Amino acid sequence: MNMPVEPLNNVSTHTLLEINNLSVAYGKVEALNGASLRVGEGQIVTVIGPNGAGKTTLLSAIMGVLGSQGQVSVDGTVENVPQVEIMVGRGLGLVPEKRELFTSMSVADNLLLGAFQRHCRGERDHGQTLKEVYELFPRLWERREQLAATLSGGERQMLAVGRALMAKPRLLMLDEPSLGLAPLVTREVFRIISTLREQGVSILLVEQNARAALRVADYAYVLETGQIAMQGPARQLADDPRVIEAYLGLSSRHQEMLAT
């Protein structure tokens, strides 16, 4: 009997996002140093790493929020200098670590703003997308009139993801979606990440909660001090003694509790 073959070098599907030799410096501080990675269509790819490794910097540079050196290509089209509007137009969406909601606006208005660029392009089907987002997050439907400022941490995270989904991204980049969330809410967020992939959205997931991230992802990269230190199929990395010691060991037990 033939066993399924693991994507050892992560090239088994059509390439949606590829970055090559990406570097970012804040003045003299080199936060990202020649990082390369790939996300295939329909994949969940995670980047794990400690505080200050450069994870947020990586996502910001891909999205064009931060200037960088190197290459970012979406669907084979190379962007030497990514710009936010262009990257959104190419199908990239970012849920930033700080969520950046419009706190004095209602849940419904925050969601509608997520479809603004599509509206400007003449697409008028945001009503259907809104319905899909409310189906995915019934809690947001219940709270649709409520001001974003008054939402709980988990609800804010749902709103941030929902708002990004309103742009109908092909690739959703999530920066620490489990940050500050209670264990049960964290589980719910990771369940939704799997659901999104089933619906055809590819995911680039940045996480400190390595255990939960490796459980949900197909492929994983370890980022340390701005460089990709390790990579491999997520299940394989989860069994790697170096990953276990640094990210999944006893000191990470609290993460186990968060993830299950």
Residues contributing to the site for ligand ATP (CB under 6 A): 26, 29, 31, 49, 51-57, 208
Residue 142 CB, nearest approach to ligand ATP (Å): 31
54 vs 154, beta carbon nearer ligand ATP: 54
Residue 6 DSSP SS3: coil
Which tokens hold the place of 38?
A: 């790939």
31 vs 159, beta carbon nearer ligand ATP: 31
Residue 148 CB, nearest approach to ligand ATP (Å): 22
52 vs 249, beta carbon nearer ligand ATP: 52
112 vs 223, beta carbon nearer ligand ATP: 223
Residue type, 172: L
| Distances 206 to 14, 59, 63, 95, 135 between C-alpha atoms, Å | 21, 8, 14, 10, 25
To which H or E segment does residue 142 belong?
A: helix 138-142
Residue 232 CB, nearest approach to ligand ATP (Å): 20
Which tokens hold the place of 22?
A: 């990406």
Residues ≥6 apart with Cβ < 8 Å to 169: 91, 92, 93, 201
Residue 246 CB, nearest approach to ligand ATP (Å): 14
